[in-house]
Amino acid sequence: MGVVVQKYGGSSVATAEHIKAVAERVERARESGQDLVVVVSAMGKTTDNLLKLAGEVSESPSPREIDQLLATGEEQSVALLAMALHDRGVAAVSLTGPQAGMTVTGRYGSGLISEIRPERIQKLLGSGQVVIVAGFQGMNSLGDVMTLGRGGSDTTAVALAAALKAGRCDIYTDVDGIYTADPRIVPTARRIAVISPAEMAEMAWRGAKVMHPRAVELAALYGVEVHVKSSFEESPGTIITGGDGLQHLETRETVAGIVHDLDVSRITLSGIRTGPGTLSKVFSPLAKLGISVDVIVESGTEEGVSDVAFTVKRSDFTEAKEAASEVAEALGGKAEGEGGLGKVSVVGTGMLNRPGYAARMFASLGEAGIPIRMVSTSEIQVTCVIPAGRVEEAVMRLHRDFELEERDV
């Protein structure tokens, strides 16, 4: 049946009993004839607890040592899962990221996979072993362990599936698939049976937490079919694939889902002098600080002067505002900030070419009296920045007004 890569998140291996349950699932898959590579995250809140411990012993721990520390979380998980499989009579071996041939580059804490040498994994698979790989980590050019940042285990799994030319990559988590909205907010949200990589990546970037967007984009790039399933129950889950694209053609429903994000703050540079290179002056300092910017709006107030507004994560707000204030002052303006914001997005393929979706979204929010601070659009999404306290209401109204609970998706 070829190689299948499975990935289990932290909630799936949070306790010894959970690890035994994963071992049982792996055993069943092995008995069906699959060659298995299993990628595992750290147990439960291990990563958060290790970061807290680092802060207790050091006021400013070095990024290198943080990576040395955090990598141990996944290393515990893979060893424990191998032991659980041995007790079930299943031949298995655990590998760290470096042992699995994972080479990374970039900065400590946010490494990027540059190469995978799968020879050792292939040899172990050939000898009948289940290969268990620590997610979230690899080795840099100095021979140091380097982590991939949050969601790195998803990326590890998809990258291994691509390198091994696996039949598919199964992502096991604490939910049973991708939904048209967060079911904790919208009880009538529907599970999406099949979704395109473009839609899934956009939903992930816009706030859906089920799968990391880096992993989705990697799957699209290398043609890896991804199945998102529950670790705790048997369900069909959601398949992320390009598909043949022929069903219903242009009569298909465009909107895939409503996504929200509460980790939003806004910074506005007002009255700055404009000219060639102005936006570079605004955003280059943020890039050097490693701060990601999302929604960007520029508006001209008068000739030669404009306002520029953008959103960043709340954790980056203070640092971003300080950098923006320096730029604004140099350009004759000032910088202001606003917290307490969120985003709500309508996501679906081909929206830009089928008019009315943005207007429908604005009308829905307007009828509820929900103020819109900023808007971002593309051919696959419309995003509105709104007060955080109104986000859940906006999600429920949009899900209803786009009739997502009334049709198959």
- Non-local (6+) Cβ contacts of 98 within 8 A are 137, 138, 139, 145
Q: CA 219 → CA 115, 154, 201, 211, distances in Å?
A: 15, 10, 10, 12
Confidence of residue 246 (pLDDT cuts 50, 70, 90): very low
Strands (E), 41-167: 92-95, 102-105, 112-116, 130-134, 137-139, 145-147
pLDDT at 116 over 60: yes
What the block records as the tokens of 284 is 């280059």
Report the DSSP pairing between strands 296-302 and 305-312: antiparallel
Partners of 336 in the beta sheet?
268
pLDDT at 248 over 90: no
Confidence of residue 151 (pLDDT cuts 50, 70, 90): confident
Q: What share of the chain is helix, strand, coil (3-state, %, to 5)?
A: 40, 30, 35
- Non-local (6+) Cβ contacts of 381 within 8 A are 202, 206, 345, 346, 347, 348, 351
Partners of 102 in the beta sheet?
116
What the block records as the tokens of 217 is 């984009």
What the block records as the tokens of 35 is 């060659």
pLDDT at 156 over 80: yes
How far, in Å, CA of 327 to CA of 330, rounded? 5
Strands (E), 247-373: 255-273, 296-302, 305-312, 334-348
Report the DSSP pairing between strands 130-134 and 35-40: parallel
Residue 314: per-residue pLDDT? 92
pLDDT tens sequence across 13-48: 999 999 999 999 999 999 988 899 999 999 999 999
pLDDT tens sequence across 349-374: 766 666 688 899 999 999 999 999 99
Superfamily of domain 3-174: Acetylglutamate kinase-like (3.40.1160.10)
Confidence of residue 251 (pLDDT cuts 50, 70, 90): very low
Closest CA to 157 of 143, 139, 172, 140: 172
Residue 182: per-residue pLDDT? 92
Q: Average pLDDT of 92-110?
A: 95
How far, in Å, CA of 145 to CA of 152, rounded? 14
Residue 406: per-residue pLDDT? 67
Residue 47: per-residue pLDDT? 93
pLDDT at 61 over 50: yes
Q: Average pLDDT of 258-268?
A: 95
Residue 407: per-residue pLDDT? 52
The letter for the amino acid at 322 is E
Confidence of residue 249 (pLDDT cuts 50, 70, 90): very low
Q: Kindly report the average pLDDT of the chain as a whole number.
A: 91
Closest CA to 405 of 200, 179, 198, 109: 179
